[in-house]
A and B are shown apart, each in its own frame.
Chain A
Amino acid sequence: MIDFLFQTLWALDATLRVATPLMLCAMAGIFSERSGIVDISLEGKLLSGAFVAAAIASLTGSVWLGLMGAICASVLMSLLHGFACITHRGDQVVSGVAINFLASGLTVILGIAIFKRGGQTPTLSSGERFRPIELWFVDAMDNIPIIGVIYRELISGHSLLVYVALLCVPIASFILYKSRFGLRLRAVGESPIAVDSAGVSVTWLRYRALIVGGVFCGIAGAYLSISHGANFVREMSAGKGYIALAAVIFGNWRPVRAFWACLMFGFLDAITSRLQDVDLPLIGEVPAQLMSALPYIMTIILLSGFIGRPSPPSAIGVPYKK
């Protein structure tokens, strides 16, 4: 029984760690897509952020500068996307694909040029990373049965960025639903002309949405390389940007639902390695690849309208022309 509890705690703990970059990227995707811009380039922004964070942290020894750098890099990518899609009304999917390629190439090229390690950045020392934080009262709580354990193992002990990510969900939700900016952003994704005729600039609104998305992705990238990991490795985003996109769709473009989707995908990822060589009742041995493919299968099923109908913002993907 105790063992089962520990296993569960461990799994949930791992879930949070895996889901953190997903959450952040999903929030980014929600902001961008809710404003009407398709964002395939979450992956590229994530990767760029990871590289810049690791590079700067390595060169300066400061995690905070690394974080700032990651955010700047990601925002720059967002602005490029905006330049192509908003200002030049280019195809949003093509632009997203291009940015992903650019990120893949540039991160390694610059990495080699600066560090000469075949694309990796140097391993960061403990002081150059975001280390796990013990929350207050951990020792005091130790004496309380069950809850104390949960507090110590699951809730406390995460890196700062995990808590930041968790905070970002209610923050994103608040901005989206309770602020003026959020109202206008949601409106412009449904009907840009209604927003235009209400006297609000569609262009500026969409750029801001992309910039906000860039900030979220930058934090996610920093988490990958200077918190969860200890350096940047080529292609370390490993498709997380696409899973985040799947989570956005799964969550029907709503922050809290996307958050749960991210947790679910993270959970699947976390238990994949655990379930290898394990015989599940009824199913038998589940191939690890099937588990890792589950997020994608579920997204496809969702998109086909078999479990509820996804309802994307009405004006998404269509460049606005007066």
Chain B
Amino acid sequence: MINKVNKTSGGDTACYILELQKISKSFGLVQANKNIDLQIETGTIHGIIGENGAGKSTLMNILYGLHRADSGEMLIDGSKVKIKSSADALSLGIGMVHQHFMLINRFSVLENVMLGSEGGSLLSTGKITTVNKLKELGQTFDMEVDPYALVSDLNVGMRQRVEILKALKGGAKILILDEPTGVLTPQEATQLFGILDKLRANGVTVLLITHKLAEIMAITDNVSIMRGGKMVGHRKTSDTNPQELAELMVGRKVLLNVEKPKAKPKDVALNVKNLGCFSSRGHKVLDDLTFHVKSGEILGIAGVSGNGQTPLMEILAGMRKPDEGYFEILGEKIDPDTRVSPFTMRENSIGHIPEDRHKHGLILGFEAYENMVLGFHHTEMTGDKKLLNKNHMLKHTSDRMDEYDIRPRNPKLLASSFSGGNQQKIVVARELYKNPKLLIVGEPTRGVDVGAIEFIHKQLIELRDQGCAIILVSVELDEILGLSDRILVMNKGQEVSTVNGDEANPKDLGLMMAGISQGVSN
């Protein structure tokens, strides 16, 4: 339930600069925001915290006019407003710095800042005023930029500055920052906080959306916590602490009771040594990663999304090359020079349940039986003749549907017509069929209903007990805790720590995931 803000920091209770009342928004069957209430005091830095998928971004997009709420009211300075587009938001004094920058790389800083507020049909007049304004803002807030630099030449921290300046130039009274430090180095993040401080001193209200507890504690005045599309708490930052916030974020969900017999690990199936890789932009997304997984055990990789888990899984599955280090998988050594493909990985008894089943795991336009052989279409799963054996595939799919209780039991149905849980079951059924010796699993129960979750978890445990080595990547701590025999926490592409499954607890893990602590306390 909602807790009112404990103490107001001066000013009238009735005059919040921004107030949301019972905002709700659904995308199809998914309800992203449920009855959100929020009150923001003028001239504060207000944090909104929650795990990935809690609904924070949706809420902010509603505020900025990129989405329209299904129901609820918004008030600015006490009066009701309707925000139907970004133009409306801008005219109301709301500016936003998005998680994925909305900048034109080919343009200069000046052109980007001018876009939308050029000050006249010819650019020449606006250019001079804008350059001056940029100088002025730069000096006031310690955010100098070269107006003529091309955005593509700027580093990430500078690009973010341009986004902020763009919002401020439009006269924003409320500045929303969506996960601003996700792509910044620690130094750049510190600089950013300095800027936010100055903004607050100048009367700008800041909404800081983040999942990082450290930031909240460092810079905000108040914080609201979201979970599962709902607002679950409001606190004055000085009255709370990271542990309490972590608990609210993660929730006191009942750990799924999976009957988990003790693992009996055998030989090492996967050995990863000093693995490193770079993104296309040149950032290091995996840094000196070393770990191993044995047959008959589940290694859970915990961490907030975007800390290197995706590149790691892609490399292990043969979809991507490592840039540094190497790994040994069931005797095969893969280093930056080896030619890999997911095809050879599958031939070597490696299964891969990808974290994004719509992007990688399934072809939504294909029917269920065609998806059931995806990646295995050169094997006897499609029959042993020259041509595809449709009846064989249909029977195979029917059998799997019975085995995994996939509904509806129609192998000819388009994959897009199945629910999330059943889609995932198709992927699981496919990857597990050949009894892989190593299984790479990402977010196995994302968007999946409770019944299917239980089923999939049981399958994974069974597979483990048959001697499979499993790497499980998940942002759901419950899942990690419930299934893993050992847990490796990742942050910024590196290993923070590895703990035993039965010694770990959510609070410690949360702190490690947030990059606050470096190891298990006590």
Contacts and interface: CB of A to CB of B under 8 A. Distances in A.
A208 to B, nearest CB: 13
B87 A180 contact: no
Contact of A194 (B88, B90, B103, B118): B103
Contact of A199 (B90, B103, B111, B121): B90
A200 B318 CA distance: 43
Given A190-B105, A191-B102, A193-B102, A180 B64 contact: no
A193 B96 CA distance: 13
Contacts of B117: 198
A196 B86 contact: yes
Given A191-B102, A194-B103, A200 B116 contact: yes
A181 interface: yes
B123 interface: yes
Contacts of B89: 199
B66 A195 contact: no
A143 interface: no
A191 B111 CA distance: 13
Interface string A192-233: 011111111000000000000000000000000000000000
Interface string A177-192: 0111111101100110
Chain A, interface SS category: helix
B114 interface: yes
Interface in B202-245: none
A194 B86 contact: no
Contacts of B64: 197
B66 A322 contact: yes
Nearest to B107: A187
A193 B118 CA distance: 18
A195 B87 CA distance: 10
A200 B87 contact: yes
Given A183-B115, A190-B105, A197 B96 contact: yes
A181 B121 contact: yes
B106 interface: yes
Q: What interface size band does chain A fall in?
A: 20 to 34
Contact of B102 (A178, A186, A197): A197
Nearest to A200: B116
Interface residues of B, number: 30
B297 to A, nearest CB: 44
Interface in B122-178: 122-124, 126, 166
Interface in B94-118: 96, 98, 102-107, 111, 114-118
Contacts of A195: 115-116
Contact of B114 (A181, A183, A196, A314): A183
B87 A187 contact: no
A187 B166 CA distance: 15
Contact of B104 (A178, A181, A190, A200): A190
Interface string B63-99: 0101000000000000000000111111100001010
A179 B98 contact: no
B123 A198 contact: no
Contact of A197 (B86, B88, B107, B111): B86
B120 interface: yes
A187 B114 CA distance: 11
A215 to B, nearest CB: 18
B123 A183 contact: yes
A42 B132 CA distance: 43
Nearest to A184: B115
A184 B112 CA distance: 10
B102 A194 contact: yes
B104 to A, nearest CB: 5
Nearest to B100: A193
A201 to B, nearest CB: 8
Interface in A162-185: 178-184
A291 B89 CA distance: 57
Given A183-B111, A190-B106, A322-B66, A198 B116 contact: yes
Contacts of B85: 196, 199
A178 B115 contact: no
Contacts of A193: 102
A197 B66 contact: yes
25 contacts: A178-B124, A179-B123, A180-B121, A180-B123, A181-B121, A183-B123, A186-B107, A190-B107, A191-B102, A193-B102, A194-B102, A194-B103, A194-B104, A196-B85, A196-B86, A197-B64, A197-B86, A197-B102, A198-B86, A198-B102, A199-B87, A199-B88, A200-B87, A200-B116, A314-B105
Report, nearest first, the 8 A-B pairs whose CB atoms are least far apart: A198-B116, A199-B87, A194-B102, A180-B118, A199-B86, A190-B104, A199-B90, A197-B86
Given A190-B106, A198-B102, A198-B116, 12 more contacts: A180-B120, A183-B123, A186-B104, A190-B105, A191-B102, A194-B102, A194-B104, A195-B115, A196-B66, A198-B86, A199-B87, A314-B106
